[in-house]
Structure 1
Amino acid sequence: MSNIWIVLPILFQLTSAVLLLFFWNYIKIQKILSALLSLLGLGISLVLFKEVYNEGLLVTQSGNWSAPFGISFVADTFGTTMVLLASVAGLAVSVFASASMTKARLQFGFYPMLHFLIMGLQGAFLTGDIFNLYVWFEVIIISSFVLITIGGKKAQLEGAIKYVALNLLASVFFLIGIAFLYGLTGSLNMADLALKVQEIDNKGLINVTASLFLVAFGIKSAVFPLYFWLPASYHTPPPAVAAIFGGLLTKVGVYAMVRTFTLIFVGDEFLSVILSVMAALTILSGGLGAMVHQHLGKIFGYFIICHIGFMMAGVGMMTELAIMGTVFYLVHDIVVKTNLFMVSGIVLKINGTQNIKELGGMYQNYPLLSLLMAIPLFSLVGIPPLSGFWAKLFFIQGGLESNEYLLIAFIVLGSFLTLWVIAKVWAEVFWKKGENLPKKARGIYFRELGRRQKLALILPVVFLSIISLYIGLGAENIVSLSERIAKELMNPEAYIEAVMSKKLNAL
């Protein structure tokens, strides 16, 4: 079915970013406008999601050119789910930043860049053209580079250089892979590529091309051994920036990997083995990295890596159950990781440090706030019936179905490492008595903050915690959604037919 309103979320974020530029020197207006625009953007994304869920896949072609010659925008269940999650995270971070970031940092264009970043992410989720996906990735890199350098501190600039250098390298591999695909098929439309790649007899050349995409998306997803840029950079920017990065930036790489390896490069045993090995080593390296660090930002950064390994495992198994697990974990992980970096920001506001050895007494001094923070922490672990638990069941079932027993062992190991580290964090930060701890002059005592500041810090955490509880306690709804997405991904005929139809209205 054709619907030109597919592009509305992208156009809305672009309009929001441009509008905020007109209020460059009016930070208070930017705070209010960004929150209102983010709320409206969430409503638009929700309407698009409901339309696709109820009516089926939507397609529109730009420039009055039918596929495969024009640029296609495709809204399927997977893409619109990711658009909705990006809007959820964007709203939470927009509100949180208004209280957690200083005016000096906000004056460098945080809010316009945040909306440009969300625009890039939503464009990547809705495009049906592989080169257009590359273009949206570049929009994401440019926006995120500005965000990661806001404030210009030495550690930030050092982390930003590592971040942008590795991501530009990923873009080079991505562009080379696109060139290979175009040379082999003469097409850039993903639905058309799905048809033409299957007709190529030289499977070795297809494997080389797929490997280029694997390296490109692997760097962006921070998988082993391509993850070193992430722990060196994600703890350096303000917590609001780290929250949107931790929640969404690596997930767009996972999305791209799932999309291309279920649509274009399908059924290759060699790639499945490589993906499974990389998944296992990503889980192990991320978990061990979280164990040896004391800084909350670095711990959560390594958990991003570890849990990307879980999602990679689902892609490596390439069964419907395993893909269900990957989709469920994506939904859970975007919400929880965004929330965790905001939690670390509140801890920093209260204590002036994120070093767990220098923290303590949180539960004693702030019992209700601590219980609120426990929701994302224990959801991350996957304690039943919280959100992280259900996806792992699908991974284990998928592993049993495909005889991937070693991969199951690494998933269980990663879960135990997560449990051990989160138990350590809880004991050090919350249970330990806050006596004889070093005082940090840069810390802001929470009780001295204004009521509006407190609400702006706490409400986004409450908002995302409620969503996490819904994902866990209302798991049957997310299971139903994940099952539908997995079936669509594993049986892409409807996607291909809708995009390649000649009877579509032009944008």
Structure 2
Amino acid sequence: MIPMLLPLAAAPAGVDLAAAYRMATPGLAEWLTILPVAWCLLAGAVLTALRGGLNWHAPIAIAALAGLVLLDALLLAHVAASGPVTMMMGRWLPPFGIAFTVDMTGALFALTAAVVAFLVSFQSLGDIDAGRRRYGFYPFLMLLMAGVSGAFLTGDLFNLYVWFEVLLISSFGLLVLGSEKAQLDGTVKYGFLNLVATTLFLVAVGLLYGALGTLNMADIAAKLAVAPAGVPVMTLAALFLFAFAMKAAAFPMNFWLPAAYHTPNTVVSALFAGLLTKVGIYALIRTGVMLMPHATERLALPIGLLALATMLVGSFGALAQDNLRRLFGYIVIAGIGAILAGVAVGGAEGLAGALLYALHSMLVMAALYAVAGLARTYAGSERLTTLSGLWTARPLFAGLSLMLFLSAAGLPPFSGLWPKVMLIKAALETGWWWLAVGLVVMGLLTTLALGRVFLLAYWRPDEGKAPQPTAPVGGARITLGVVAVMTVLTLGFGLYPQPVISAAQQAAAGLLDPVAYQHSVFPTAAQEPGGGAGTGAGAGAGEATP
């Protein structure tokens, strides 16, 4: 039975609520489904109320993010042990009302996002000045994590849109903090493209609701599995694909990312690079693979071409850049192409590789933007034409940077190797040889781009012409520690990948065969094709635990 968030009122005469609901109070395991979002919103509210005590903002936010990591870790362990879990709000039975349904895919993304945000929050101790704190950096950060967590954990398509709006509103606030001319310019570009993508997403949601009468993801998957007549599935799939590809910065709408991500504070850049495009790619995978698999299979060739173009544009764009953060932005774009390649190839191996690459990219891309911030702190510049001598001046920083460059390029023994191997293997086994070639070329070009960074900024001798540091070097020690932790994580995953690979394979299997996901919402109706909604109170129940 579905646990309910709110206490039950007295039932109308003749209605047996026990046939549909679990009448006992939900246990801690069930509350874990919604606690990450509620926790972030509560922390953001507390920080907003304490706007007069700015000195408390950083410790409260860091403690809240540590709690978020713990909650998401417990949720992942619960889902791994018990399967997908569902929590309904109030007395509404699915498919009506607000549902939180968490499977391995959502739990993995939520935990990785929490870890990245927790680590980056330490970077903010030295990089976020009093002015940015006064204008709400930490409340915006917690609101951003509420939106990110909600997008990964929701089981309702309209509420996926709502959580997108929450994270977009907070990201606008974070992006414009400082009010510099470049920030305002980047915010306008970022805001306009995301507005277009969000409008397309909302149009697709409206068409889907008009065709099926439901927005519950489990119910949508069950109804579309029987190919109902009169439903424009291909049109819907194309709209969702275009909207989420735009949010993920895939070709040809990728130009907004390098134009925006280099403008804010480096802490904000690191957060955005690690999290925001991955929410878009998660939504694309969720809607395309789980909800509309047959339409996505028919769109495999266009998705493959989109993936190849995105990989090449990102790789060649990185080679052409002088600014570190713009260069790393193109590396993010190339990685989105690799993930799309896994979606195009399909199958358990291709999808697992795509999920694994996304998790790897969340950590490594955030670390690379932290590296750009440290380069600016140590040498006073982010431009390759002026950076030099960092290997001699900062050997520890240079060593950590080199390891992160190797990981981003997909070279051993770091985390970038394994998803690349899985994607190439899946592409070759399924006849997508040109996508396999594209992945190899992307790796080669990324290696050249990052090798160029290392040769110019680190290995080239310092002739005494470099700009002076623009920030106190002492404040960079914490950021250097954050980069070191991220490097250890990517190295540990590279040396001992099996647990994460197994989790990604389990997540891919759940997306390809969503019976367990549907069963968590409709325990009796999920046994029959198309038996999602409207089957009565007893059939509309869902389980949070076996």
Question: CA shift at 1:503, angstroms?
Answer: 3.6
Equivalent-residue separation in structure 1 for 2:377 and 2:204 (angstroms)? 45
Offset of 1:6 from its aligned partner? 0.6
Residue 353 of structure 1 is matched in structure 2 by 381
2:366 maps to 1:344: no
Indicate which of 65, 68, 89 corresponds to 2:116: 89
Q: Which residue identity does 1:462 align to in structure 2?
A: A
Kindly indicate whether residue 438 of structure 2 is the aligned counterpart of residue 410 of structure 1.
Answer: yes
- Deviation per residue, 1:414-460 (Å, 9 max, x gap): 100100001000111111111132324x62352xx2xxx34422222
What is the CA deviation profile of residues 150-185 of structure 1, one whole-angstrom value per residue up to 9, with x for unaligned ones? 000000000000001100111110011011111111
Letter in 1 for 2:65: S
Within a 5 Å distance, the mapping from 1:301-316 to structure 2 comes to 301-316=329-344
CA distance in 1, matches of 2:342, 2:57: 41
1:433 pairs with 2:455: no
Measure how far apart 1:356 and its partner are: 1.2
Q: 1:122 aligns with which of 136, 149, 153?
A: 149
Structure 1 CA distance for aligned equivalents of residues 96 and 281 of structure 2: 27
**1:382 to 2:410 alignment:** yes
Does residue 333 (structure 1) correspond to residue 361 (structure 2)? The answer is yes
For residues 230 and 338 of structure 2, the distance between their equivalents in structure 1, rounded to whole angstroms, comes to: 28
Code of the aligned partner of 1:433: P
1:204 CA drift (Å): 8.0
User: Which residue does the alignment assign to 2:167?
Assistant: 140
Q: Which residue of 1 aligns with 2:69?
A: 42
1:161 alignment partner in structure 2: 188
Q: Match for 1:477: what amino acid?
A: P
The alignment-based identity, stated in percent, is 34
Q: Please say if residues 20 and 30 of structure 1, whose CA atoms lie closer than 8 Å, have aligned partners that are also in contact.
A: yes
Residue 278 of structure 1, CA deviation: 0.4
| Counterparts of 1:159 and 1:297, CA distance in 2 | 13
Q: Matched residues in 2 for 1:155 and 1:191: separation? A: 43
| Aligned structure 1 segments of 4 or more residues deviating by more than 4 angstroms | 201-204
Residue 98 (structure 1) aligns with: 125
Instruction: Name the structure 1 match of 2:19.
Output: none
1:470 aligned partner: 492
Aligned with 2:519 (options 497, 500, 503):
497
Equivalent position to 1:369, from 381, 397, 400 = 397
Alpha carbons of structure 1 residues 203 and 301: separation in structure 2 relative to 1, 3 Å: farther
* Counterpart residue type for residue 337 of structure 1: M
Matched, 1:74 2:135: no
Of 171-180 and 24-33, the range deviating more from structure 2? 24-33
Q: Please state whether the residue corresponding to 1:444 is helix, strand or coil.
A: coil
Q: Deviations over 1:473-501 (max 9, x none)?
A: 11111111111111111111111121123
Name which of 252, 261, 272 aligns with 2:288. Answer: 261
What residue in structure 2 maps to residue 317 of structure 1?
Answer: 345
* C-alpha distance in structure 2 between counterparts of 1:326 and 1:407, whole Å: 13
Moved more, 32-41 or 218-227: 32-41
Bigger-Rg structure (1/2): 2
Aligned partner of residue 287 in structure 2, secondary structure: helix
Cα distance change on mapping 1:435 and 1:10 into 2, 3 Å: same
CA contact (8 A) 1:351 1:444 kept: no
State how far apart, in whole Å, the 2-side matches of 1:486 and 1:439 are: 48
Q: Out of 90, 95, 99, which is 1:63 matched to?
A: 90
Q: How large is the RMSD of aligned CA atoms in angstroms?
A: 1.5
Match of 2:419? Answer: 391
Give me the whole-angstrom Cα distance separating, in 2, the residues matched to 1:87 and 1:183. Answer: 35
| 1:242-282 C-alpha deviation (Å, 9 max, x unpaired) | 00000000000110011111111112343111111100000
Counterpart selection for 1:460 from 463, 468, 482: 482
Cα pair distance change 1:505/1:313, threshold 3 Å: closer
SS state at 1:151 partner: coil
Q: Equivalent residues in 2 for 1:17-56 (5 A)?
A: 17-56=44-83
Q: Give the deviation of 1:198 after TM superposition.
A: 2.9
Query: By percentage of residues, which structure has more helix?
Result: 1
For 1:11, the equivalent position in structure 2 comes to 38
1:479 aligned residue: 501
Is 1:443–2:470 an aligned residue pair? yes
135-144 vs 46-55, greater mean Cα deviation: 46-55
1:373 deviates by 2.2
* TM-score normalized by the length of structure 2: 0.89
| Partner SS, residue 381 of structure 2 | coil
1:7-32 Cα distance to aligned partner (Å, 9 max, x none): 00100000111111122243321111
1:294 aligns with 2:318: no
Shift of residue 374 of structure 1?
Answer: 2.1
Are the structure 2 counterparts of residues 203 and 296 from structure 1 closer, same or farther at C-alpha, using a change threshold of 3 Å?
Answer: farther
Structure 1 residue 505 displacement after superposition? 7.4
Q: Distance in 1 between matches of 2:31 and 2:129?
A: 40
CA contact (8 A) 1:163 1:230 kept: yes
Contact 1:332 1:468 in 2 (8 A): yes
Q: Which moved more, 1:371-380 or 1:257-266?
A: 371-380
Contact 2:519–2:543 (CA under 8 A) maintained in structure 1: no
Are the counterparts in 2 of residues 27 and 106 from structure 1 also a CA contact under 8 Å? yes
Once residues 357 and 258 of structure 2 are traced to their aligned partners in structure 1, the CA distance between those partners, rounded to angstroms, is 21
Q: Is the 8 A contact 2:241 2:288 kept in 1?
A: no
Amino acid at match of 1:146: G
CA contact (8 A) 1:38 1:87 kept: yes
Deviation at 1:50, TM superposition (A): 1.2
Q: Is the 8 A contact 1:61 1:505 kept in 2?
A: no
Match for residue 422 of structure 1?
Answer: 450
Q: Please, which of 234, 245, 250 is the counterpart of residue 261 of structure 2?
A: 234
Shift of 1:105: 2.1
Write the distance in 2 (CA, Å) between the matches of 1:176 and 1:222.
20
Question: Deviation per CA, 1:181-238, whole angstroms, max 9, x where unpaired?
Answer: 1111111011111121233455882111111111110110000111111111010001
8 Å Cα contact 2:522-2:542 kept in structure 1: no
Helix, strand or coil at the partner of 1:360: coil
Deviations, residues 20-47 of structure 1 (Å, cap 9, x unaligned) = 1122243321111111221122111111
Q: Kindly provide the amino acid, as one letter, of the partner of residue 436 in structure 2.
A: I
1:184 matches 2:211 = yes
